[in-house]
Chain A
């Protein structure tokens, strides 16, 4: 027998039994929240033209995408993330829509990581996008949905951290950084590399007060009080507007009742240029990376057509599930089926009984025999006889 055929390629895996049930359960719970907020489902193809996900639009470097060619020789990629594809759809189908469009999705994404990193190459992303609404209420709705989605899975020990790109932009403008040094500053602040910030302040001759703010930026994170500290530090309009925005956002999140899951980080700067307002990430214990991320990207859809304000997030379901299992979060995964054991004499009765259960939404499994070891897989084990049928009133 070809035993080696049993393996999957590195980075992909089979998900089965309880794990699969749990995964679908989590996705279902999240989907339910999204539906309650009035989001409608959308599906985009698993592979698209390479350019959709390239550089300014995608979050994944070209060499980390799975590429293939179509018959005409066009380069295609298996989607490495969802947002650019949704943005393309928005530009194509909803360009003339004046009202806000609410879309949600769930699908697998593919990233060709380098070898031996212990990372999955195929993961499931569930998320949503609110398109055509630039209001702060839209920002708040997004974060509230994210908190409620994670809560619905059963995980409670997590936090959503919110930043605003405007704070840094204001500082960079005031300091007169050119685009190269702005990009470098952005990167080192993102990596919280405080001493290197000090070096750049010196080499760029940034004035003392402003330099001090840049220096403190990597540490400007924490509870809502951090916003007051941030407001005291900055003295330019763009930065102050960003802080003000976050303060108002916090008030709205209080109304949603989710504020205890929210913290702030003004040094959170996405590597993606298209984020124009808030950015946020969800963190929890026992997984070394964020389980969800999102933000406002008013400039992305414009790359496919007309600019349209939008905000969205996506949750990496596999990471969420990993965190739940490592934190031993129990999730109820629906009722276990009843096992109906029959023999030659009563097979028709057994079928009738099973049909009766299924009609009343109770899962039922038929089997000619079952080993007692397997009994605990079932809610109940029933051996068919006349009494049993009578008990359930089945003729």
Chain B
């Protein structure tokens, strides 16, 4: 039997995803050791391999088939726009992609003035302004602390992920428009889905059954 390889986006998302996978019988003891320096973790019994990667690299690993299955946020998927199967919504890490800025910027979003938009997600920002709002904007790509941009006058608004909105409020910014909902997704390489269909579909089915059970428990 061949190994099925999982690529997980480093950090909280990976930990939460592993908890869910554990519930459906997919475990990896090696990974729980926090001090380990290993890069690849193996479950020999189930013939599974796991590795952690920077979120934006996960779609790349999966697209080329270096990993069969990836777990990563929808924000990254939209930004990277890779050819892969997006098969399941894990329902964790829920948040929203929003256009944010000071209240005064609200008017600019309804006009036809050329405004500057700072974002870690230039692709998503461009798609939203060009194809949804049909507004011509100048996109400025930043790599972190995007909230700074409107405060120091680098841009009028930003496009960024909003979870609670606390950082925004503390800095006198607010959500002006919602772009889309985000959460963690399970993605699968196109070829793996076909060549290893029974094993991969089995995992997806188990995830779905787990979800349904939780829903009925809530009711």
Interface residues of A (CB under 8 A from B): 118, 159, 161, 191-196, 218-219, 221-222, 263, 265, 283-290
Contact = CB atoms under 8 A, between A and B. Distances in A.
Contact of B194 (A118, A283, A287): A283
Interface string B48-80: 000000000000000111100000000000000
Interface in B57-111: 63-66, 83-89
Contacts of A193: 85-87
Contacts of A287: 65, 191
Given A284-B195, A287-B65, A194 B190 contact: no
Contacts of B63: 288
A119 to B, nearest CB: 9
B197 interface: yes
B4 interface: no
A283 B201 contact: no
Contacts of A161: 194
Nearest to A263: B194
Contacts of B86: 191-193, 196
Contacts of A283: 190-191, 194-195
A192 B189 CA distance: 11
Contacts of B83: 289
A316 B13 CA distance: 37
Nearest to A291: B191
B140 interface: no
Given A191-B85, A193-B86, A289 B191 contact: yes
20 contacts: A159-B195, A161-B194, A191-B84, A191-B86, A192-B85, A192-B188, A194-B88, A195-B88, A263-B194, A265-B194, A284-B195, A285-B2, A285-B191, A285-B195, A286-B65, A287-B65, A288-B66, A288-B190, A289-B190, A290-B190
B28 interface: no
Contact of B191 (A118, A218, A219, A290): A290
Given A192-B188, A287-B65, 20 more contacts: A191-B84, A191-B85, A192-B86, A194-B87, A218-B87, A219-B201, A263-B194, A265-B194, A283-B194, A283-B195, A284-B195, A286-B65, A287-B191, A288-B63, A288-B64, A288-B65, A288-B190, A288-B191, A289-B191, A290-B190
Contacts of B201: 219
Interface string B174-210: 0000000000000011110111010001000000000
A118 B201 CA distance: 29
Contacts of A286: 65
B47 to A, nearest CB: 14
A288 B64 CA distance: 5
A284 B195 CA distance: 7
Nearest to A157: B195
A286 B201 CA distance: 20
Contacts, number: 52
Nearest to B196: A285
Contact count band on B: 20 to 34
Contacts of B89: 195
A288 B189 contact: yes
A284 B64 contact: no
A226 B108 CA distance: 54
Contact of B87 (A118, A192, A263): A192
Contact of B64 (A118, A218, A290): A118
Closest 9 CB pairs of A and B: A288-B65, A192-B85, A288-B64, A195-B89, A193-B86, A283-B191, A283-B194, A192-B87, A191-B86
Contacts of A284: 191, 195
Contacts of B195: 159, 283-285
A192 B204 CA distance: 12
Interface in B1-17: 2
Interface in B150-184: none
A289 B191 CA distance: 6
A159 B197 CA distance: 12
A195 to B, nearest CB: 5
A221 B2 contact: no
B5 to A, nearest CB: 12
Nearest to A190: B85
B120 to A, nearest CB: 18
A194 B90 CA distance: 12
Contacts of B64: 118, 288
B185 to A, nearest CB: 9
Contacts of A118: 64
A221 B191 contact: no
A249 to B, nearest CB: 18
Nearest to B63: A288
B98 to A, nearest CB: 20
A289 B64 CA distance: 7
A262 B44 CA distance: 31
A191 B191 CA distance: 12
B11 to A, nearest CB: 23
B150 to A, nearest CB: 29
A316 B85 CA distance: 22
Nearest to B193: A192
A289 B82 CA distance: 12
A283 B66 CA distance: 15
A285 B201 CA distance: 18
A285 B189 CA distance: 11
B109 to A, nearest CB: 25
A298 B189 CA distance: 30
Instruction: From A218, A288, A289, name the one whose CB has the most chain B CB atoms within 10 angstroms.
Output: A288
Nearest to B201: A219
B200 to A, nearest CB: 10
